Amino acid sequence: MRLENLNWMDVEAYLEKDDRIIIITGATEQHAYLSLQTDIIIHAKIADTVAEREKVLIAPPLNFGYSRYFAAFPGTISLTQNTLSTVILEIFECLLHQGFRRFFFLNGHGGNQMPVFLHEIHEKDDALNVIWYNWWKEKAVRSFGERHKLRLNHANWGENFPFNRVAESPDEVKEWVERLVDDNDIYATRQQIGDGSFGGEYQVADDLMNQLFAEVVEEVATLIHNM
């Protein structure tokens, strides 16, 4: 259930029986041959699938995150970390005031850090439950990678789902970019990483990607169910 498909009276009725909400955080940034909104599309689809199963509400995605290191790639749009934290705080405060008490932050972008205030609230207020979930780093993805001897990284196979492809991916394995030579030099970053992928396989079989998606959905649904 997405807010965009409801009116305010629908949400008020929802809050009479449930106080959970999924908040999607991500980015609009280069992803090599994949969509510039890869860091929104993937976990928005995860959220929709989970919400259908758990009957939980989804807030509109926060489409921009911290992506300054990719600013030399056209189409990348970045906030600062301070702005991002402030936006998340204000979203949280609005929803909290309305009666939401269980917040599942479904994050799809490595540049987005969990704001300090969320750590503090989670530790100090037993009446609130806050989870910050980085989908590509959690147990389901780690286990999948270990079983199939695949390493997920930026704009490689691990983000290459059928639903966020906008072009053909190369049929090769790219040399790994272990770290950026200078996070503050956006032009050096572009020169270093070339097409934007951080290395490894660009794409694997769709049945493997469907399996990965299903395992992440299962993990997220279980966490939300147990909040």
What's the pLDDT tens digit per position in 6-56?
Answer: 999 999 999 999 999 999 999 999 999 999 999 999 999 999 999 999 999
- Give CA–CA dist 101/130, Å, rounded: 8
Domain boundaries, the chain: 3-225
pLDDT exceeds cutoff 90 at 184: no
Whole-angstrom distance, CA of residue 164 vs CA of residue 181: 29
- The stretches of the chain forming alpha helices (DSSP H) are 8-15, 38-54, 81-98, 116-124, 139-148, 186-193, 206-225
**For residue 61, what pLDDT is reported?**
96
Average of per-residue pLDDT across 114-141: 87
Q: What was the pLDDT predicted at 26?
A: 97
Query: Of all residues in the chain, what percent carry a pLDDT higher than 70?
Result: 99
111: pLDDT strictly greater than 70: yes
pLDDT of 119: 77
Identify the CATH number of the domain defined by range 3-225.
3.40.50.10310
Helix 206-225 vs helix 139-148: angle between axes, to the nearest 10 degrees? Answer: 150
Mean pLDDT, rounded, of the chain: 95
CA–CA separation, 144 and 215 (whole Å)? 8
